[in-house]
Amino acid sequence: METVTRERLNIGVLATSQAFYSITAITVMTLSGLVGLHLSPDPALATLPVSAMMLGTLLTTLPASLYMQRVGRRAGFLTGTTLGGLGGLLSVWSIGIGSFWMFCAASLLFGCYQAFSMYYRFAAADVARPVWRSKAISLVLAGGVVAAILGPLNASRAVDLMPGLPNAGPYAVVAGMSLLAFLLLLYLRVPPAHEPDGDAQRRPMAAIARQPAFVVALISGALGYGIMALVMTATPLAMRAEGFSLNQAAFVMQWHVLGMFAPSFVTGHLIARYGVLNIITAGTVLLFAAGLTASGGVSMAHFWVALFLLGVGWNFLFVGGSHLLTLTHTPAERGKTQGANDLAIFAVVACASLLSGVLIHQVGWAILNLAMMPFVLIVLLAVLWLRGRGLGVRSEG
């Protein structure tokens, strides 16, 4: 009973920390472009702070994993929340002194925070019993549901929180939430059985990467996340071009984020019941449906349904891929394995985010959505290939 209580407490800590981090990420994605436009010497550089956050994540992902392999999950997560708090404080300061480049540096720190926070889902697998791992991963990601509601509210309602410093309030709130996350993570306890074993035999990364299950986990996570980032980033631009208001675009984006995280309450149960490959397959079907819906028209209903389906499809691919990855490495190998996986994911996401604006202007919304179809097909073919090798991974047990 004590073990179960500790397991639930650990997962609760991680889920709440995930919510705090997700509010930070959504705040930055929603507001930093506007602040960048106000501070930047050149309007063309307005979105550079958002790109700086993605760069920070890309640069920190693998080092963060290796760092936690040495010092443990809790110490690593405490480091991440500290960087997030510093990012919030530096953002407030840079707005106060009108420094665009300082604001970009603050966004880079947010990216470092994001890199550490991406491992909350793997920590959930570390602290959960084998039969609960998929459920634990999905419940931690469900913390993003809170962020879908509070993130946009923080970005819009807290802008006047600090008189004389317009737009600084949300970043002060982010700094405060990072402090709360720091205090909460002090209660995280990773069972000794899951800590890295310094004497364990570690395979070379090349040997781990040759496993069919690793290949499919990586393809599912990287392409699923990249497709989602490509379409999500282009959506506000497409809606503005069709004459929709910012409030209407925000409504669609809010439902998209809910689609991303709300299914996490049940995704783990679905994986345990139907098998991880079936859930990834369902995710590809949803992404196909999202692309066809988006390319079929530009009404409010088309945008709303397409983005919601895109979010749910991403959830099935990302949670499924994360679960599948945990089956490919030992505790001693988790640092480099998870680090390499997330490094590849964010490399794809960074490229997709940069390409999104170019594609929406050069080929348009409908073609952009049709262009993602071959990549969805690659994920589906990868799953069929894994099944063909007789590896129909069903559950941990």
* Tens-place pLDDT, residues 82-136: 999 999 999 999 999 999 999 999 999 999 999 999 888 778 877 776 767 767 7
Domain ranges of the chain: 1-190, 206-397
Q: Does domain 1-190 have CATH number 1.20.1250.20?
A: yes
Q: What is the structure's pLDDT at 126?
A: 76
Q: Could you give the CA distance from residue 264 to residue 247 in angstroms, rounded to a whole number? A: 26
Q: Which CATH class name applies to 206-397?
A: mainly alpha
Q: Average the pLDDT over 3-27 and give the result.
A: 85
Q: Average the pLDDT over 29-57 and give the result.
A: 77
Does this model's pTM top 0.85? no
Please tell me which of 7-16, 134-143, 152-161 the model is most confident about, judged by mean pLDDT.
Answer: 7-16
Q: Is a pLDDT exceeding 60 seen at residue 376?
A: yes
The first and second tokens of residue 188, run together, are 């995280």
Of the candidates 304, 272, 299, 246, the one whose C-alpha atom is nearest the C-alpha of residue 139 is: 272
Q: How far is CA 330 from the centre of its chain?
A: 24
Q: What is the structure's pLDDT at 185?
A: 94
Q: What is the structure's pLDDT at 194?
A: 43
Q: Is a pLDDT exceeding 70 seen at residue 374?
A: yes
Q: What is the structure's pLDDT at 193?
A: 42
Q: Is a pLDDT exceeding 70 seen at residue 70?
A: yes
Dihedral over Cα of 132, 134, 139, 140: its sign? positive
Q: Average the pLDDT over 205-232 and give the result.
A: 89
163 Rama sector, left if φ>0, alpha if ψ -120 to 50, beta otherwise: beta
**Percent of the chain whose predicted confidence (pLDDT) is above 90:** 36
Q: What is the structure's pLDDT at 44?
A: 61
**Percent of the chain whose predicted confidence (pLDDT) is above 70:** 90
Q: Could you give the CA distance from residue 83 to residue 105 in angstroms, rounded to a whole number? A: 11
**Which of 63-77, 129-143, 358-372 is predicted with the least confidence, judged by mean pLDDT?**
129-143
Q: What is the structure's pLDDT at 357?
A: 67
| Average pLDDT, rounded, for the chain | 84
Contact between 92 and 162 under an 8 Å Cβ cutoff? The reply is: yes
Q: Is a pLDDT exceeding 80 seen at residue 218?
A: yes
Residues counted in the chain: 397
Place of tokens 């410093």: 165
Of the candidates 239, 182, 216, the one whose C-alpha atom is nearest the C-alpha of residue 16 is: 182
Q: Average the pLDDT over 164-186 and give the result.
A: 92
Q: Is a pLDDT exceeding 60 seen at residue 335?
A: yes
Q: Could you give the CA distance from residue 392 to residue 91 in angstroms, rounded to a whole number? A: 48
Q: Is a pLDDT exceeding 80 seen at residue 81?
A: yes
Of the candidates 306, 175, 120, the one whose C-alpha atom is nearest the C-alpha of residue 228 is: 306
**Which of 87-96, 254-263, 327-336 is predicted with the least confidence, judged by mean pLDDT?**
327-336
* Tens-place pLDDT, residues 262-321: 887 788 889 888 899 999 999 999 999 999 999 999 999 999 999 999 999 999 999 899
Q: Is a pLDDT exceeding 60 seen at residue 331?
A: yes
Q: Could you tell me the pLDDT band of residue 199, with boundaries at 50, 70 and 90?
A: very low
Q: Is a pLDDT exceeding 90 seen at residue 338?
A: no
Of the candidates 11, 39, 65, the one whose C-alpha atom is nearest the C-alpha of residue 171 is: 39
Same topology between domain 1-190 and domain 206-397: yes
Q: What is the structure's pLDDT at 394?
A: 45
The first and second tokens of residue 282, run together, are 């369902």
Q: What is the structure's pLDDT at 196?
A: 47
Q: What is the structure's pLDDT at 79?
A: 97
Q: Is a pLDDT exceeding 90 seen at residue 223?
A: yes
